[in-house]
Amino acid sequence: MAMNIETIDTEIRHLQQEAVAVEHTGPTFDEVWPQVERQLTDAEALFRRHGPQLSGMPPVLPEHLIQQHQAAVGAALVANKKAVLDSERARIKAQTEHGISAADKRQRIAELRAAILKAAAKRELELRKVEGAEFMPRPVHPELASTSAARSSAWLVDGSSATSTSVVSARHSVGEVLSHHFQSQRFYITCRIRDLVE
């Protein structure tokens, strides 16, 4: 049984690693190129309006330096627009070779999160098989702790919830009431967790 839990832990780690990798994957060429093309167009227009800006004091303000850089790019476009565009297009294609669209990224991350949650639920059920009737309040897997099933039972996380002594009748000890409370809550949460697995 312990080996099965270790296998699930490995599965969760791999899914988490893939989710991080997808998160850090850059956009596609079709998403990046329009912005680059727009910047090149603006640079060319700036140069055609203001020229090389050779007169006056050397630029010192950041915005002046940026404008000078744009003018230099614009000059290159005026001199040989096709060569600059071809060069930039090739550069962006190389940068975005393994890119993923924003929509595909959202979908893949959602799929991975669902798979991680399902694996974490399976892990919790396996642990409960090991614990049997000897269950005690303990932390659940972090991936499962954020679900509504876990949030609805704070006792599952830290054991902080307890039945008020005002509901303890003379016929039952506090221990008996707490035991019944924990078992009832545990059964409810177990059903919710099984829903995640199925």
Q: What predicted TM-score, i.e. pTM, was given to this entire model?
A: 0.63
Residue, of 141 and 83, whose pLDDT is higher: 83
Residue, of 130 and 165, whose pLDDT is higher: 130
Q: How far apart are CA 198 and CA 194, in angstroms?
A: 6
Is residue 105 scored above 90 in pLDDT? yes
Q: How far apart are CA 186 and CA 87, in angstroms?
A: 63
| pLDDT for the residue 171 | 41
Angle at 8 between CA 138 and CA 134, to 5 degrees: 30
Is residue 136 scored above 50 in pLDDT? yes
Average pLDDT over residues 57-78: 84
pLDDT interval class at 110 (50, 70, 90) = very high
Distances (CA, A) of 62 to 25, 36, 59, 69: 31, 21, 8, 11
In terms of DSSP H, where are the helices of 24-55? 29-50
Mean pLDDT for all residues in the chain: 77
> Residue 150: is it exposed, middle or buried by C-beta count within 10 angstroms (0-12/13-18/19+)?
buried
Question: Which range, of 11-15, 76-80, 119-123, 174-178, averages the lowest pLDDT?
Answer: 174-178
Q: Is residue 47 within 8 Å of 74, Cβ to Cβ?
A: yes
